[in-house]
Structure 1
Amino acid sequence: MAKKKPTILVVNDDGITAPGIKVLLEEMQKIGDVVVVAPDSPQSGMGHAITIGRPLRLDKIDLYAGVEMYKCSGTPVDCVKLAVNKIFKGKKPDLCVSGVNHGLNYSINVLYSGTMSAAVEGAIEDIPSIGFSLDDFSHQADFSHCRPYIRAIAEQVLENGLQKATLLNVNFPHHSKEIKGIKICRQATAKWFEEFDERVDPYEREYFWMTGKFQLLDKGEDTDVFALSNGYVSVVPTQFDMTAHHAITDLNSWTFNVANAK
């Protein structure tokens, strides 16, 4: 008896027509039955935003032959929520993959990323989930070196599963770098130092254009930043429980003088 193919939900934040999602769905077609639900326009930097107070549109489209695809008017997280509730109707897929993002989602960027937030939402729904990103913002980005790793990582997740409330954040070096292998890493400590360029529009109203510089605050050789800079695919096990467990004991030693605060 033939083994049943896994069902795989493919999402992204760059939009339904992005080259990265085409690469991802093509690789997933080799191992399972694919359903694509993606935003109808780019949604980069949306984080875990959801749509409240306005309608959500979900339209079936025929973009690639033989692929069940839907475009959504909402955010990447909306795409996952609608897929689970309206397309799969509560019968959850075996895997959720997000990407391949045009641009890295390493270190602190995971908090801002629509790509990773879609994967996080999959994990919240108890679906094994992976976010994939490439170090190339170009619309003509070369994803060819990522393909075998995408498939290999997805197959391992399907075979072994992931711990509850855990997902994978996978980042690929630029195609100009020879990939040396895969490194299981931790998220590097870093932050963005933003600047806001002040400008004036044609109506003489002031507006701001955000720019910034990424500053690595971590010298460790076990991080995603270090792995990528040295030609490795970084794989970071990620969780959505944001509790700082190490701080609970310290906080329990505090004395809260509520009476004196009145």
Structure 2
Amino acid sequence: MRILLTNDDGIHAPGFALLEEIAHRLSDDVWVCAPAEEQSGAGHSLTLHMPVRLLDHGDKRFSVTGTPTDAVNLALRKLFPDGKPDLVISGINAGENLGDDITYSGTISAAMEAALAGIPAIALSQAQRVPGRIGGARFDAAAGWAERVLAPLTDVRMAKRTLVNVNFPDVPAAEVKGVRVVRQGFHDYDRGSLVEGTDPRGRKYYWFGLEEMEHTLDHGTDLEAVADGYVAVTPLQLDFTHHSAIGLLAERFAT
């Protein structure tokens, strides 16, 4: 099985090193193409107004001077003349990608780009809610559970233009209660703090805070599962159409 790895935290991120280690236990044909620098919050953005460079790090490892979407797009176009990957895995992100946060996530968007190309894709994220943990210790749940979660997913035949979003709770691996397959939840819209400051030239700037946002723990959601100490596995689709509203809107425009 040929696996392509990518992320949004950059090729040198500790969560990515962990993903590489796990992927090499699943396959002997592992490729890497990730952003050269952190691109958290980049969403599904494609670089259009400047050139993007492909940097060769040797041994099937590459980085891209662009977004996670750029990384997957460029990898599929330039790195695989003899056949596309069988699977794309994005992560392991430092921080959860739950609920409506998936719309901002570069981790999810990299997997989306693969799904659009017809390649099975999985996104992995490690919640990091407990203050004071630093370094690799914060990936303890992912280190203990990622291979167990990935193994049964590698041969699942998902529908076209779908992907799987996996989030690990911020607890030690031994305290993870299991795996729940759940739907996407939603946060309350108040998206944390907005910090206002003044730069050395006297101009105002604004900085969005990233503290934990409020949300309602509806039953059966990814938010609830992770809060309860479970690994959350959520199938996502790229068809955003609200199908039940088609008839209603068609009536409005009927002549």
Q: TM-score, normalised by structure 2?
A: 0.90
Q: CA offsets, 1:172-218, max 9 Å, x none?
A: 001347111100000012244144322111111111112266221x4
Q: Report if the CA contact (8 A) 1:18-1:139 is conserved.
A: no
Alignment of 1:223-242 (within 5 A): 223-242=221-240
Alignment of 1:173-212 (within 5 A): 173-176=169-172, 178-194=175-191, 195-211=193-209
The answer to whether structure 1 residue 171 and structure 2 residue 167 are counterparts is yes
Q: Distance in 2 between matches of 1:19 and 1:211?
A: 23
Tell me the SS of whatever aligns to 2:164: strand
Cα 1:71–1:139 change in 2 (3 A) is farther
Task: Report the counterpart of residue 13 of structure 2 in structure 1.
Answer: 18
Task: Report the counterpart of residue 246 of structure 2 in structure 1.
Answer: 248
Q: CA offsets, 1:9-48, max 9 Å, x none?
A: 0000000100101111111101111101111110000000
CA RMSD in angstroms, aligned pairs only:
1.9
- Which structure 2 segments of 5+ residues have no match? none
Q: Distance in 1 between matches of 2:67 and 2:178?
A: 33
Task: Report the counterpart of residue 3 of structure 1 in structure 2.
Answer: none
| Pair member with larger Rg | 1
Task: Report the counterpart of residue 8 of structure 1 in structure 2.
Answer: 3
Moved over 4 A (4+): none
Task: Report the counterpart of residue 77 of structure 2 in structure 1.
Answer: 85
Cα 1:256–1:183 change in 2 (3 A) is same
Q: Distance in 2 between matches of 1:187 and 1:141?
A: 27
Alignment of 1:68-217 (within 5 A): 68-89=60-81, 91-136=83-128, 140-142=135-137, 143-176=139-172, 178-194=175-191, 195-211=193-209, 214-216=213-215
Q: TM-score, normalised by structure 1?
A: 0.88
Q: Report if the CA contact (8 A) 1:123-1:166 is conserved.
A: yes
Q: Distance in 2 between matches of 1:90 and 1:186?
A: 37
- Which structure 1 segments of 5+ residues have no match? 1-5, 258-262
Q: Matched residues, percent identical? A: 37
Q: CA offsets, 1:78-116, max 9 Å, x none?
A: 000011000013721010000000000000110000000
The answer to whether structure 1 residue 43 and structure 2 residue 44 are counterparts is no
One-letter code aligned to 1:24: L
Report which of the two has the higher share of strand. 1
Q: Distance in 2 between matches of 1:232 and 1:58?
A: 38
Number of residues paired by the alignment? Answer: 247
Q: Report if the CA contact (8 A) 2:126-2:141 is conserved.
A: no
Offset of 1:148 from its aligned partner? 4.7
